[in-house]
Amino acid sequence: MAAKIEGIVIEGNSLGRTLGVPTANIALEQECGLTNGVYAAHLTIDDVKYCAVANIGRKPTVERDAPRGAEIHIIGFEGNLYGRHLEVWLDEFLRSEQRFDSIESLQTQIKRDIETVKNKNLKD
């Protein structure tokens, strides 16, 4: 697959940080040709390669009528990326974006997605 998204990290609503899975948010062109959903991804920050989980879509569990964007949880990264330009490579489509009944259900699924990406990278 290996599609690439890129952009400047912008402020989001900080829900990911509250849930223990902080994300870097990037605005997307509305017609970027990608299917809304969750992807296994990777990127490089300051010459260090990181695995990531990227959500492309509109955040249906937490917002109504949100603009389409990308939220990237960078596994093992701690730091501030606001205002930085990121290039994120989408390696594999994992699942479609969905609306969850609760924030807790969303949090559980995000943690499953992170474990899926970690396990994939252990095999590679």
CATH code, domain with 26: 2.40.30.30
Alpha carbon distances (Å) from 103 to 30, 52, 96, 117? 25, 21, 17, 21
Strand partners, 92: 40
Sign, CA torsion 35/39/43/45:
positive
**pLDDT at residue 1 greater than cutoff 60:** yes
pLDDT at residue 96 in the model = 92
pLDDT in tens, 31-88: 667 889 999 999 999 999 999 999 998 877 777 777 888 999 999 999 999 999 999 9
Angle at 68 between CA 45 and CA 94, to 5 degrees: 65
Q: What is the mean pLDDT of the chain?
A: 87
What is the DSSP secondary structure assignment for residue 106, as one 8-state letter? H
The domain containing residue 51 runs over which residues? 3-123
Instruction: Kindly state the tokens that stand for 20.
Output: 């223990």
Number of independent structural domains in the chain = 1
Tell me the C-alpha distance between 23 and 34, whole Å: 19
Q: How many helices (H) and strands (E) does the chain have?
A: 2, 6
Place 19 in a pLDDT band, splitting at 50, 70 and 90.
confident
pLDDT at residue 122 in the model = 66
Q: What is the mean pLDDT of residues 3-15?
A: 85
**pTM to 2 decimal places:** 0.89
Strand partners, 85: 8
Place 118 in a pLDDT band, splitting at 50, 70 and 90.
very high
